[in-house]
């Protein structure tokens, strides 16, 4: 039996995606192209998948180009930038790199009101 590409749980014989993750994929496809993150979460919650499974699903990076969450963040960033008249070329890979760089950044304990020295 194969494991699901998204949640790594059992998908079934000759299947790459388990029924719950397939339902979440279908929910995303029905949203179209201009949805908000709130719409996305509402659609995923409507599939009755547990929150932990939704998190795994959104964090899955099948092709190494960025997770589903990174793809959506890139799309929304581009839409916002275009709305305010700024040029943009953000993609999921760039969002993934920013997210990973932020995790590597040293955590400096700051006092209230003290500026972050890493953000100049």
120 pLDDT more than 70: no
Q: Note the pLDDT tens digit of each residue in 14-55.
A: 889 999 999 999 998 898 877 888 888 899 999 999 999 999
User: Mean pLDDT in the chain?
Assistant: 87
| Whole-model pTM over 0.85 | no
| The two structure tokens encoding residue 17 | 């995606």
Q: Note the pLDDT tens digit of each residue in 46-102.
A: 999 999 999 999 998 888 888 888 988 898 889 889 889 998 888 988 999 988 888
- Per-residue HEC secondary structure of the chain comes to CEECCCCCCEEECCCCCCHHHHHHHHHHHHHCCCCCHHHHHHHHHCCCCCHHHHHHHHHCCCCCCCCHHHHHHHHHHHHHHHHCCCCCCCCHHHHHHHHHHHHHCCCCCCCCCCCCCCCC
Q: Where are the domains of the chain?
A: 1-60, 64-114
């Amino acid at each position: 039996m194969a494991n699901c590409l998204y949640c790594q749980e059992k998908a079934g014989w000759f299947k790459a995606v388990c029924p719950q993750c397939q339902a979440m994929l279908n929910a995303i496809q029905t949203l179209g192209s201009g949805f908000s993150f709130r719409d996305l979460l509402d659609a995923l919650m409507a599939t009755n998948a547990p929150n932990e499974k939704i998190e795994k699903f959104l964090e899955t990076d099948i092709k190494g180009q960025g997770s589903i969450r990174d793809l959506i963040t890139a799309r929304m960033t581009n839409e916002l930038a275009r709305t305010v008249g700024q040029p943009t070329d953000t993609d999921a890979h760039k969002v993934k790199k920013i997210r990973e760089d932020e995790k590597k950044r040293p955590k400096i304990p700051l006092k209230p009101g003290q500026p972050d020295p890493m953000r100049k």
